[in-house]
């Protein structure tokens, strides 16, 4: 009987350790949220160049060489030199993401930002 009392708690502890080892971490949960960009248009502000943004569509999350990237097509917005090109942005360089439901919403936001930079002209 005394052996049984010692074995049961040990089995419970082992089961808890196995369950915790198999559960995804919060970082893994964030990495798996890439599907939420489907059908949206994004502006991405990078830590390395916060003065400009990257406008993308058809964005998905990809991994290369152990690093995660946002990969999308340059959106059709004014002055976007990456329009139509495949663009890779390192996820660890992302400072800010803004999502838009339509291309028109993205164009309006980009146009308003350009007006602010030009001093409202």
Topology given in CATH for the domain delimited by 27-117: SH3 type barrels. (2.30.30)
Q: Residue 7, SS3?
A: helix
* CB contact at 8 A, 91 and 70: yes
Q: How confident is the model at residue 3 (pLDDT cuts 50, 70, 90)?
A: low
pLDDT at 29: 47
- In the predicted structure, residue 30 carries a pLDDT above the cut 90: no
Domain ranges of the chain: 27-117
d(CA 34, CA 81): 25
Residue 109 CB partners (closer than 8 Å, separation 6+): 43, 98, 100
For residue range 66-76, what is the model confidence (pLDDT) as tens digits? 999 999 999 99
Q: What is the mean pLDDT of the chain?
A: 80
d(CA 95, CA 80): 19
């Amino acid at each position: 009987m005394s052996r049984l009392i010692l074995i049961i708690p040990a089995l419970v502890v082992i089961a808890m350790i196995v369950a915790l080892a198999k559960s995804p971490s919060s970082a893994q949960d964030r990495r798996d949220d890439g599907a939420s960009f489907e059908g949206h248009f994004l502006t991405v502000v990078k830590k390395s160049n916060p003065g400009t943004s990257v406008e993308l569509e058809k964005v998905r999350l990809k991994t290369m060489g152990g690093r995660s990237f946002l990969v999308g097509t340059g959106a059709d917005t004014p002055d976007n030199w990456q329009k139509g090109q495949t663009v890779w942005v390192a996820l660890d360089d992302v400072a800010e993401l803004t999502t838009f439901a339509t291309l028109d919403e993205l164009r309006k936001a980009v146009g308003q930002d350009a007006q602010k930079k030009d001093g409202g002209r």
